[in-house]
Structure 1
């Protein structure tokens, strides 16, 4: 249930060329191929907005959900800021689910319901095995696990919940969603930290191409508890600053690390013919290309794999760099890693060759939920023809080679969006989405 995916081979009339797309590297855009899976529903849970449209409105306004942690006292840790969801109401879920679910899974169940409702899809009304679930996770239900371990250590094994056997487990979101909605088709979970949010969508794309009419996919994650927080702070990537407006500053010379968060997005991915037969009238876009790579071992002298993932994703989409209209950056906030991403973008697109944005500066990096939230934002950008801003970063601090959208949204003609993601340990993923024809 874990692992990485190579880019799916392109199909078409010539090597590397799909019907209705440009030959790789030509820079000549044509309508996105109709054989590509379509996104028909979105569900979002985010620190700056619960629900897709609330999140999107807040993002275009530049509203940040980053602040000092309230769920526990962070004063004894080296970092104290997070993108925390503070307005979630557990009553949105059946009472029977609450004793057996971590907060992360409750978020995922709400996002799944919104995505399916948005798509107008009822998996229980579909034939058996016609709908499946693939999600991404970084670790699982840490908060639930911490409570049960505390019970074990302080009171004994008789006081540990039987639900501990699965509530902490990284595939739990896929399992709970599939049970609640009767989705008996392909299922799975991928663990690649931030990059996993794209990897899960790519695996779902494969299932759709192999004949499953509908897949629910993406990532919703969160480990904002003392146990999870200790693990994250030990990674060395978190900022120690306490001012939410000056803490997470990707691509800035003042960058000092990133701010974590919780939440993410789930997408309904469908075969375009099946969607048409269902009478779907709204399509957010199509999954056009994807690739994943892994960084070489430290000290090897070999280049990081992000640039190769980018190029392979463009090839899989059948487009060239000139066809990309916006890049949703990984934006780590760690100076050395930001420099790598800046160099990759300048090498592929030329200096200031494409608008770049990092709306995650309003939410923090959401572990396995972050890239799928970026993917949802990219689809909404294509829908509304606008690039959301990167907040808190001053335009004068941005490298000359980077056209970072800061301060306010930017209207633009958008046809293809590229989403980049890197996961702790060397994972790299890239995904191209194109707007509705």
Structure 2
């Protein structure tokens, strides 16, 4: 398995079809194989989210507009100014993780193992029946096993080095989810991990798509993140972007004039990505195709390049802006960031020209897991012909001229193509196009 550092990512995340990028792009086309031969499709979905454990429960909650944001229970947050988070409900690790793995895994890895198991079962595939090196695992992470690391640091300083677990050597590591998933399911093909915060869930899928083009037949990909502990909470507070609101229904308001910051959460989605040929050969059920993907980086002056990522992803997919039926927005819940995203969307599509939604308003921002969960939502939206709502936000701010879907799902539109946007701390931008 290989890890991709932030520096390496700047050279490995590239435009990956023969379609020429827009003249303003800083990326470069790298032809690899004919698109028809390397079509990437999603055949399985596994979800752990604050408003539902398991894909079916989560999607039902999303369509009900049911939020998972509530008071923190993972630790005593009474002394902190921020007290709300999105915690995955009803997760009992012993029901999803072998007992031998419990002492060596963090919450994030346990959730990842559960989501991977569900995704593979949903896809109806047994990796053991595949050629030995045909399948791999490519995930994204923001902090690895953060809670595990805090516990071991506490043991080090309060009791001494002899009380630090030997598993600390890897349980904290950002590559641990890919490693444990590949070991548990015998995925011996090309695997890896990407670190790009909230953009990571899309970046992992983009990398998995490349592995399919290189000859892999199946990749478990996406992201699940979790870091709800005092150590992580201190980092959120230090950044100054976290919502300090006490009302769970008004704490995280993407594109609202009342937006006051984000609410952290845990969870995400893992997907089974296959070549269209492999899926067809085994007569697999297909949710949709990942038709386009691209990533960009904001320059040092902070100018947003999210719009360029969207343009590149559309070009990669061979899709015109007027063919996009819905946009799943990053939805930062911060006024300046929301204005920048709204500007990128309106520059590409025009004001109020395409339905926009941010279902993460029901979960909080899940770091790397947020983008892959949005990708799962886009696939389910295409399947069910419905746009899920953005909750909390009653209507977009005047400086965010978007056709934002609020209050209730929108059923009155035909959906064939969706654009998913994501941004990560440090200037990472990613976009993906999925088609029914």
Report the TM-score when normalising by structure 1: 0.92
Q: CA–CA distance in 1 between the matches of 2:37 and 2:410? A: 28
The aligned runs of 1:60-99 (5 Å cut-off) are 60-92=63-95, 93-99=97-103
Q: CA–CA distance in 2 between the matches of 1:298 and 1:99? A: 45
Report if the CA contact (8 A) 2:51-2:89 is conserved.
no
| Residue in structure 2 matched with residue 36 of structure 1 by the alignment | 39
CA shift at 1:400, angstroms? Answer: 6.4
CA shift at 1:220, angstroms? Answer: 0.3
Q: CA–CA distance in 1 between the matches of 2:313 and 2:346? A: 17
Q: CA–CA distance in 1 between the matches of 2:304 and 2:397? A: 25
| Residue in structure 2 matched with residue 111 of structure 1 by the alignment | 115
| Residue in structure 2 matched with residue 403 of structure 1 by the alignment | 403
CA shift at 1:77, angstroms? Answer: 1.8
| Residue in structure 1 matched with residue 429 of structure 2 by the alignment | 428
Q: CA–CA distance in 2 between the matches of 1:231 and 1:162? A: 26
CA shift at 1:8, angstroms? Answer: 3.6
Q: Identify which of 158, 162, 166 aligns with 1:162.
A: 166
Displacement over 4 Å in runs of 4+: 32-35, 396-400
Deviations along 1:195-242, one digit per CA (max 9) or x if unpaired, are: 011000000000001100000000000100011111122111101111
| Residue in structure 2 matched with residue 419 of structure 1 by the alignment | 420
Q: CA–CA distance in 1 between the matches of 2:396 and 2:196? A: 34
1:208 has 2:212 as partner:
yes
| Residue in structure 2 matched with residue 6 of structure 1 by the alignment | 13
CA shift at 1:78, angstroms? Answer: 2.5
Unaligned runs of 5+ in 2: 22-34
- Shift of the 42–404 alpha-carbon distance from structure 1 to 2, 3 Å rule, reads same
The aligned runs of 1:174-253 (5 Å cut-off) are 174-253=178-257
Q: CA–CA distance in 1 between the matches of 2:13 and 2:191? A: 18
1:347 has 2:347 as partner:
yes
1:336 aligned counterpart, secondary structure: helix
Q: CA–CA distance in 2 between the matches of 1:6 and 1:313? A: 12
Q: CA–CA distance in 1 between the matches of 2:54 and 2:330? A: 23
Q: CA RMSD in A?
A: 1.5
CA shift at 1:83, angstroms? Answer: 0.4
Deviations along 1:344-378, one digit per CA (max 9) or x if unpaired, are: 11111011010000000000000000000000000
Q: CA–CA distance in 1 between the matches of 2:350 and 2:134? A: 44
Q: CA–CA distance in 2 between the matches of 1:9 and 1:344? A: 22
Report if the CA contact (8 A) 2:108-2:226 is conserved.
yes
Q: CA–CA distance in 2 between the matches of 1:400 and 1:97? A: 47
| Residue in structure 1 matched with residue 292 of structure 2 by the alignment | 289
Report if the CA contact (8 A) 1:7-1:313 is conserved.
no
Unaligned runs of 5+ in 1: 18-31
Report if the CA contact (8 A) 1:7-1:290 is conserved.
no
CA shift at 1:399, angstroms? Answer: 4.9
Q: CA–CA distance in 1 between the matches of 2:392 and 2:367? A: 21
Deviations along 1:18-49, one digit per CA (max 9) or x if unpaired, are: xxxxxxxxxxxxxx967411100000000000
Q: CA–CA distance in 1 between the matches of 2:52 and 2:100? A: 26
Report if the CA contact (8 A) 1:16-1:318 is conserved.
no
| Residue in structure 2 matched with residue 358 of structure 1 by the alignment | 358
1:254 has 2:258 as partner:
yes
